[in-house]
Amino acid sequence: MSSNIKPSATLPSCSTALNVAAVAFDMDGLMFDTEAVYDKAASTLLGRRGFKYTDKLRDEIMGRPPEYCFRRMVETYSLKESWRELGRENEEIFVELLKDGYATTPGLLELFDELDRRGIPRCVCTSSKRFVADEVLKKHDVRKRLDFVLTSEDVVNGKPNPEVYLKAAERFGVSPLSMLVLEDSAAGCAAATSAGSPCCMLRAYHNVRVDFSLALVVVERLDAPELLSLLGGD
């Protein structure tokens, strides 16, 4: 699938009733507060090398695929390791930190129940690697409630490129315009809107400096009335 595909239709306004045929979830920071775990992992990774993980770097790499994130670390701190070496070490730290527990985003399970009631299929489109996604999605057996999961290993071009959301819509067999995307990063929102999909953004502590102007609606929990109303019907 070409990464240069442009939206074929104009995105609806927040007052427009959507014909939602499927829902695509981002994972980290959207479904679970794993951004806090990533912060700890990155701080540990860089701390071992005598550096501090800054808010500026975090804002820049949020929602991006692993290669971009760790290349930026190498460049920012003039590290001797390759981005792949950093990525493997960070993955080990992250998975170990998951054992300490991580919070579920308020309203996630209630939204899943509502999607079940309406018979709306859903997937995850994450910039994480598949092994990491599998570990995170074990919580509450969330993986069993998803139709499929797309990771950074399933695309050539990561977010903000629209490839992952175009692939998701294709796999659902629906138009991107009828696939509601739930995101928490600027890169993710850009990917969704570039694919032609309406995007609902979750506002949380980790993205207070992010520009959400491309979002159709912004909510603070996943069962917010503003989000549920986008699903249409009763």
* The two three-digit tokens of residue 175, written as one number: 């138009």
Q: What angle do CA 86, 183, 36 make, to 5 degrees?
A: 45
Could you say which of 26, 28, 33, 184 is catalytic?
26
Rounded distance between C-alpha atoms, residue 74 and residue 14, angstroms: 40
**Residue 30 · residue 125 · CB < 8 Å:** no
Q: Characterise 115 by phi-psi region: left (phi > 0), alpha (psi -120 to 50), beta (else).
A: alpha
Question: Catalytic annotation on 26?
Answer: yes
Gap between the Cα atoms of 124 and 34, Å rounded: 15
Question: Among 18, 23, 25, which Cα is nearest to 233's?
Answer: 18
**Which are the catalytic amino acids?**
26
